[in-house]
Each structure stands twice: as structure tokens, then as C-alpha cells.
Structure 1
Amino acid sequence: MFTGIVEELGEVVAVESLGDSSRIRLRGPLVTEDARHGDSIAVNGVCLTVVETADGEFTADVMAETLKRSSLGGLGPGSRVNLERPLKADGRLGGHLVQGHVDGTGVILGRERSEHWDVVTVSLPAGLSRYVAAKGSITVDGVSLTVVEAGDDFFTISLIPTTLALTTLGFKTAGDPVNLEVDVLAKYTERLLAHTATPDLRERA
């Protein structure tokens, strides 16, 4: 489990195609200082399992399903990425509950720059809009953010100077893809309500 508070702006060192998957090597001295084989690290909001670490770098295998459902397939050497280690049991939940399971990808439609913050508009894939609400939480490329405006096929977010300086969202431009994870509480609530509205047929027997 993550919080969407990015710890480090890392960099892709190499990408090796394995046919139905890829092995990616990334530089992240901070997140690898206590990482071991089998640990999890979120890369642009995608939870990946560490294969090995060495000299401030780590490798992870990315299966075809992940490449298809996220923007990780478009990464190459030199690409900058948001990195976060899992939340410790005694840690602070600074953002919101983030699983690292991407629900879909959006595209940055535009950004309005002001003196102290940027307002960014992001497209919203069909089927996800029902989980997004104004003043609710959403994860964009692994960053926990508050929704400003929620439309049927878009939403807007405001980025403060810290987010602009320390995450990939500071340099993304119109047309760039981003990974989206909606609030898991909204998904579970929908699932529970669906079962409540349709009684189990076994109870009628």
C-alpha cells in the first residue's frame, strides 16, 4: 500500500524486451537504500516488484498486462519517473490509500500556468468518471492529488510548486499520457451497493 507522496524523481537506465514482458532498470538512490529482492516500489503509480538492487539502481519485471494498461510501455532510457516505497505500518498517511494498481491511462489536455501553481486538465477514460468527484482524491502518475473539477470525460487538478518541482507532473505537456488510479474506497463502495441491491438468490430458496 502506498500514499501517493512521491519520494524521489528517478530515471530509467535501461529497458530490455522479453517478448511478453519487459525488464526495466531504474536509478533511485533513495528508494533503493533499504530495498531488497521481492520488495515493492511504485513507478509512476505502478506497483513493481524489485528483482535486484545495486549501486542505487533496481530492476523490475513488467508483464504484458501492465504494459498494456499503463504508460510504462512508453518509457525508455532517460525517462524520468516518480518513485515511492510502500507505507510502513507506523508511517503517516500523507496522501490517500493508493494500491499501485492502475485503472487506466489519461492524457494531459492542457495546463494553465500561474505565478504559484498550475491547473492541469486530464482526459478521463470511459467508465472511470463515476469514481471521480470534485474535492475527492485521484492518483496521477503515482501522485496523490485533489480533484478540482470532475467532468464526464475529464478532470482538473491544481499543482503546487513542490509537486511541480519534485514530480514528473512538473514537465508533462499536452498529449503526454499519465497513469490513473481512482480512489479504491469508491470502487469497493460501488461493489458493496451492487450486491445489496441484488439479494443472493440462495436466500430466496
Structure 2
Amino acid sequence: MFTGIVEELGEIVSLAWEGDGAKVTVRGPVVVTDAKHGDSIAVNGVCLTVISTTGDTFETEVMKETFDRSSLGSLAPGERVNLERAVTAATRLGGHIVQGHVDGVGTIASKKPGGGWEDVRILLPEGMSRYIVEKGSITVDGISLTVVAVDDESFTVSLIPTTLELTTLGRKQPGALVNLEVDVIAKYVEKLVAAQRGAE
């Protein structure tokens, strides 16, 4: 489990493809300080398992399912990624409950500078808007953000200067792909309501 508060901007070092999957090496001096085999680290919002560490890098294995459901397959060596270690029992929950399980891939439609911030509109995969509400939480590339507005096809978030400086969203331009994770509570509520209606 994560909070959506990015700890550092890491870097993809290499992708060694093995059939449909790949071993991915990521540079992250902060997150690797106490990382060990079996630990979870979110890479652009995708929960990945550490299989080894060397110096300031860690290696993880990414399977086809993960590539199919996220934007990780489009990454290349040298690209920057958002990194966050899993929470501990003593961690402040500064963002919201994030599982690191990507629900779909969105596309940045536009970026509009404001008075010290930037409004970003992101196109949604079909059917995802029902889980998103104004002033609710959403995770974009592992970043916990508050929804400003939402319609059937897109949603908007406003990024403060710190988010623009310390995460990949400050660098990504219209057309870029982003991993999206909706609030898991919305999905549970939908399932419970559907089950109740089916029992009536």
C-alpha cells in the first residue's frame, strides 16, 4: 500500500526483455537505501517487487499483465519515473490509500498555466469516469491528486509548483500516457450496490 506522495524522481536504467516480460533496473538513491528483496516500490504508480539492489539501483521483474495494463512498456532507459516505497504502520497518510494497481492508462490532453500552478486535463479510458468525483482523489503516475472537474471523457487536476518540480507531470506534455488508479473505495461501493440490487 502507498500514499501517492512521491519520494523521488528515479530513472530507468535498463529493460531486459525476456519473452513477454522484462527485468527492469531503476535508479533511486532514496528508495533503495533500505530496500531489500521482496519489498514493494511504486514506479509511476505501479506496485513492483524488488528482486535485488546494487548501489543506488534496484531490479524488478515486470510481467505481461502489468505491461498490458500500464504505460511501463513505453518507458526507455534514461526516462524519469516517480518512486515511492510502501507505507509502514508509522507513516503519515499524506495522500490517500493507493494500492499500486493501475486501473487504466490515460492521455494528457492539455496543460494550461495558471497563477503559479498548472491545470492538466487527462483523457480517460472508457467507463472509468463513473469512479471519479469532483474533489475526490485519483492517482496519476503514482501521484495522489485532487480532482478539480470531471466529465464522461476526461478529468482535470491542478498542479502546484512542488508537484511540477518533483514529479514527472512537470515534464510530460500533451499526448503523453499516464497510469491511473481510481479510489478503491468507489469500486467496492459499486460492487456492493450491484450485489444488493441483484438480491432484490
TM-score class, shorter: over 0.9
User: Which piece of structure 1 moves more, 25-34 or 190-199?
Assistant: 190-199
State the partner residue of 2:12: 12
The answer as to 2:101 corresponding to 1:101 is yes
Q: Flag structure 1 segments of 5+ consecutive residues without an equivalent.
A: 201-205
Query: What is the aligned partner in structure 2 of residue 183 from structure 1?
Result: 183
The residue identity in structure 1 corresponding to 2:112 is E
Per the TM alignment, residue 168 of structure 1 is displaced from its structure 2 partner at its CA by: 0.1
Q: Give the SS at the match of 1:198.
A: helix
The letter for the 1-side match of 2:85 is R
Deviation, 1:191, is: 0.7
Partners of 1:39 and 1:135 in 2: CA distance = 32
Residue identity opposite 1:114 in structure 2: G
Residue 114 of structure 1: CA displacement?
2.2
Q: Distance in 2 between matches of 1:178 and 1:12?
A: 16
What is the SS of the residue equivalent to 2:29? coil
CA–CA distance in structure 2, aligned partners of residues 111 and 104 of structure 1? 20
Find the aligned partners of 1:23 and 1:115 in 2 and give their Cα distance.
42
Runs in 1 of length 4+ with deviation above 6 angstroms? none
Q: Percentage identity across aligned positions?
A: 60
- Structure 2 portions without partners, runs of 5+: none
Matched with 1:40 is: 40
- The answer to whether residue 155 in structure 2 is matched with residue 155 in structure 1 is yes
Normalised to the residue count of structure 1, the TM-score between the two structures is 0.96
Provide the C-alpha distance between the structure 2 equivalents of 1:130 and 1:119, rounded to a whole number of angstroms. Answer: 21
Report the AA paired with residue 60 of structure 2: A
**Alignment correspondent of 1:174:** 174
Listed one character per residue, the Cα deviations across residues 92-145 of structure 1 (whole Å, up to 9, x for unaligned) are 100000000000000000100124100000001111100001100000000000
Aligned match of 1:80: 80
How many angstroms apart in 2 are the aligned matches of 1:93 and 1:114?
A: 28
Q: CA RMSD in A?
A: 0.8
For residue 67 of structure 2, give the secondary structure of its aligned residue in structure 1.
helix
